Structure 1
């Protein structure tokens, strides 16, 4: 779960509509798409067209998933005040505490009752799902840098598999297998297993598949397995975000069979499914991509992909002009494509250049509105850049894991060029009619894009002085240690404790999205001050070790509460949408804690090389990180207000201090 976008400055103004964009239900020859079952006739398909055949149907648990709970108001206020305490001086905190208690005793109770009543009328979904869609779709900022994150795939261990043509063809074929497996209901359900879970065994799976859909979750839970919500998965394919004035909308067209390919700003399409819904031969995919890679047509003077980097209202107006100019058919081909494959004519020798390319690129060879874009560079570096409104990292990470593993374990095509003398490729280049107003719109969009990305700095580091194994030996949480290092680094660099956001999935509940973990606490503030604060005294390792344990234990509780829907951020956000005004939301401290200077997210997968996103506020840092067995990686972005490289230097110094304490060493006092 790379990033859940934080509620930005104008988030309180978004609509509180509760109706979800309905899932499309389509019928086609020998196929049925259904949002609850995702069934797809596979009688004519060979096993080679699927990733696997799950014993338990993909959506078997969906009907019986528990609903996302609304926390008690008193609990949310208590958690909110605990998160505020390390950010405020004593007098400020007392004022915020008074405002919060007044809210709890007064208007907050009525707003909470309204929220509970709404939730009871909408048992098909969660209380946060509708408002969260609205928050994203009503935001008018450009998608690039503000919302779309990226995840880079690990290299193919077979060296030759990293050549651009082979990598792009194999990942595309594996993505089509994923699509077919999902729609056939054969994709293994997403399940979180406790240690020693009986839910992993084939015997249990055979048993649970016989359970009625209304009881399947309970049977799995009894075996120590927690099925996760999979309602977002259908948006992985054939989906796009359409710009509209005031509020965008999501489009999904599962009947479309073609792939969108972008190269040098040109757009091409060709079918990856035949009329019966079967995957086309991998050789045809390779031959079409080979033809596209060999196309010497000069780059367009006015590449339309640049328009997807614009302000959403500006883009909506230009989109209407594109339609009026007679481009509907070409636009529909873009919007409904299975996904977007971006073939980049660049090589990416290091993590920094890879991050810049995969996060934003040149603004030309992208269609940022597509739900999913697979990017493959000339040297085989591959990544996924995804539009965030439709879903979160759980679905995208599952997709990435599956296609990486499939492409490596059973590549569809061999490395090397397509053989000469084959059939004529079916790929065709899309053309668009542009008048002078549209050309000027492209020019302005490119200029604004260049200014925005020109101010973004990205840097990365690998700390090799220790990792997950050493931390766990000390019975500490690896994530808590990483978050403490960020608090220590910021204190060392700027002398204050920042408002900090860590994303946490609530996919354990029906239509769950994310909740916020607030890593900055009185425990991290005290520990950071003892270890790096100005004028710190010499500290014994035993004393600091106890502080580390308190930080770890508290962070573990916060994480568990967030995953179980018991954080405070989403609850207070939903109440704010129902409120016309209250001193609680006007309190500067409320605005400050939601101005997330440190926005952080972690993901752990051997299929992921790195991930990243831009800061969510102008004076913030975007921190993607991963704690590996023996090292810790950080990929950090920032604007001119922050020194990214110095922050990473401070992170490494902080980690050195933490691991010194784990090794039983005292820390000297400051000079």
Structure 2
């Protein structure tokens, strides 16, 4: 089981309509117009009481357990929660931490451990992608436009002129925007770190003026902002990119392959690079400080499926998976983005992408103050390699290619269903598709399995996401009713609506900070970090109980990206039996990208087929009868 939930918050629902909030609930305070002007005044993420978390944990895991498994879980929880027991000690430590000076949220330590503590590869496992809508532009024109739009956004962000996100009158945290540019994850032997602006080491916005361009295994440093801080024009960007696309394939193997390795292994390779030659430190400096990456592919994908797959993993020779933002532009001008997840969730990236794609590049370039200043400086980024590092890179490339080949994916599009249709039938759109997933999974695999859904909590200070578990008693009754020969249409429809309402209620719980999983997980992490100091050193049966293990072992891992700027969104699966379900639900369309380990690919294809049936069947069920 992958306890990191690789998609946790990749493109989570916002805290309003998607989960069925009352439209009448609006805040009265007038938000600041400055990008980060509201963050310090946002409410703190609520820290639930330990007893409330215990009650919710039992409620959430119960539908997934046998009677014997539930009893074992209840006993383990009682031991954890007993007066003077380990849970009380760990929770008291968490309360003291939250009250500490400079702490913005009781989750401040949780997030680095959750994302930076994972030791497997992040390529395919953690990074996520968006496939943009087509524009008909050629590769160079499309890439130049993306660069111009991103640089314009960066300059506005530097001046705090990006309007703060506001939902139902409430400002949302903009903290993640600080990590869009010049941010790079740095591998570590035990835990990774992040190199980023707006930090103690690099206060304020990034002063970098260059991006990193990949083409045919070459890495090129390309200036996109002149010495006086004014961006290059679109024509100049196109000229520089056109010259880059005439390059021959690189003679040396690409160091980018090393970013596909498991984290401790990549950390060792990075140390070997630094030890071999002083020039490698300078090369890494260029890579790690670059504003973002632009990955130019010298081929056109055969279809949408291949475009999505290439955005998810591609060839490591043309990627630096540790960079926060990498635009990928194919030979035919189709484009998308690959995002490193540790500091960025989907809602932030969607806002960025919408801004870049929502205004013509010519206008963004002009309004950014771009002026003619000659061809942008381009210089190859070269690493000094020895035979050992060359072999290391070749091994990493072969291993990642095999890993990608062992992942099955499927793009599924619905042109005859969307959020507007669900609303017209009196149903929350997200609840509708989540119930369709449950029905399709039961029919495809023969069981209702653990389902994860990310829920945005950016209405809180430094808020990110909450982990929602979709399976409720109402879901079990709904799925059973749908295939019960004795159930009539009215009974099935009633069960469907009850399950959907339960889904909305749980989503609201998560948005209110009333969810058990991350709270208990952080207590588990506190014991690992500080157990000896706190006197909590023995095993904690709760975290080996059937409830904890089963609730977190995903069969479906789901997340949504509602934006008209993108066609598909995707990420890798999170366990050996898991199907990753990334979906773009728009008013008149519904696109889903599925991923799963190749050994269970047949079940994923069965799920895709059953999902089509379920979407049609559930619409018919809610149709008003004449």
Mapped partners of 2:424, 2:544: distance in 1: 45
What is aligned with 2:145? Answer: 170
What is the aligned counterpart of 1:148 among 105, 108, 127? 127
Q: Which residue in the other structure is 1:571 paired with?
A: 519
Quick one: structure 1 residues 128 and 114, their matched pair in 2 at CA, closer, same or farther if it must change by over 3 Å? same
Aligned partner of 1:282 among 218, 234, 248:
234
1:441-482 deviations in Å (ceiling 9; x for gaps)? 001101110110011111121234533223212321111111
Answer yes or no: is 1:522 the counterpart of 2:473. Answer: yes
Contact 2:569 2:584 in 1 (8 A): no
| Structure 2: distance between partners of 1:428 and 1:371 | 22
Alignment of 1:160-309 (within 5 A): 162-193=137-168, 225-253=169-197, 254-295=206-247, 297-309=248-260
Measured after TM superposition, the shift of residue 72 of structure 1 is: 2.0
Q: Is the 8 A contact 1:351 1:460 kept in 2?
A: yes
Cα deviation code 1:384-411 (max 9, x no counterpart): 1111112211221111110011246837
Aligned-partner Cα distance in 1 for 2:486–2:590: 27
Following superposition, the deviation at residue 634 of structure 1 comes to 1.4
The correspondence for 2:108, drawn from 120, 129, 132, is: 129
Partner of 1:314: 265
The equivalent of 2:588 in structure 1 is 630
- Whole-angstrom distance in 2 between the partners of 1:8 and 1:602: 15
| 2:82 aligned residue | 105
* 1:123 Cα offset (Å): 4.8
Counterpart secondary structure, 1:342: strand
Matched, 1:368 2:365: no
Give the secondary structure class of the aligned counterpart of 1:364: helix
Instruction: String of CA shifts for 1:496-516, please: whole Å, max 9, x gaps.
Output: 111110011111111112111
Could you report, residue by residue, the CA deviation over 1:5-34 in whole angstroms, capped at 9, with x for unpaired residues? Answer: 95369x9xxxxxxxxxxxxxxxxxxxxxxx
CA distance in 2, matches of 1:301, 1:601: 39
Q: Is the alpha carbon distance of 1:55 and 1:571 closer, same or farther for their aligned partners in structure 2, counting shifts above 3 Å?
A: closer
Classify the secondary structure of the residue corresponding to 1:410.
Answer: helix
Cα separation, 2, equivalents of 1:642 and 1:105: 44
Q: 1:301 to 1:123 in 2, by over 3 A?
A: closer
Match of 1:463 in 2: 414
1:491-640 matched pairs, under 5 angstroms: 491-532=442-483, 536-579=484-527, 580=537, 581-639=539-597, 640=599
Q: Distance in 1 between matches of 2:546 and 2:102?
A: 35
Change (3 A) 1:122 1:131: farther
Counterpart in the other structure of 2:611: 651
Describe the shift of the 1:624–1:299 C-alpha distance in structure 2 as closer, same or farther (beyond 3 A): same
Match of 1:401 among 354, 366, 371: 354
Q: Which residue of 1 aligns with 2:17?
A: none
2:306 to 326, 348, 353: 353
Shift of 1:646: 1.3
d(CA) in 2 for partners of 1:61, 1:386: 26
- Residue 56 of structure 1 and its aligned partner are, at CA, apart by 1.4
Q: Per-residue CA shift, 1:247-294, capped at 9, x if unaligned?
A: 111112512211110111110012112223222222221111111112
* CA displacement, residues 109-160 of structure 1 (integer Å, 9 cap, x when unaligned): 332222111111155321112221122212111111211011111222xx3x
Displacement after TM superposition at 1:664 (Å): 5.0
Alignment partner of 1:339 is 2:292:
yes
**1:386 to 2:339 alignment:** yes
Q: In the aligned structure 2, how far is the partner of 1:392 from the partner of 1:129?
A: 15
Return 5+ residue gaps in structure 2 as ranges.
9-30, 198-205, 367-372, 528-536
Question: What is the DSSP-based 3-state SS (H/G/I as helix, E as strand, rest coil) of the residue aligned with 1:641?
Answer: helix
Deviation digits for residues 483-505 of structure 1 (CA, Å, limit 9, x no counterpart)? 11111111111211111100111
CA contact (8 A) 1:153 1:607 kept: yes
Kindly report the root-mean-square deviation, in angstroms, between the aligned alpha carbons of the 2 structures.
Answer: 2.2
Aligned partners of 2:293 and 2:417: how far apart in 1? 39
Cα distance in 1 between the residues matched to 2:103 and 2:341: 22
Counterpart for residue 92 of structure 1: 69
Q: CA deviation at 1:537?
A: 1.6
Does structure 1 retain, via aligned residues, the 8 Å contact 2:4–2:114?
yes
Conservation of the 8 A alpha-carbon contact between 1:625 and 1:634:
yes
CA distance in 2, matches of 1:306, 1:86: 43
**Residue-by-residue CA offset, 1:350-381 (whole Å, 9 max, x unaligned):** 22101110000022100001011011111111
Q: Deviation at 1:95?
A: 2.7
- Structure 1 position 412, deviation (Å): 4.6
Q: Which protein has greater RCO, CA pairs closer than 8 Å, 6+ apart? A: 2
Q: Is the 8 A contact 1:273 1:280 kept in 2?
A: yes
Q: 1:190 to 1:344 in 2, by over 3 A?
A: same
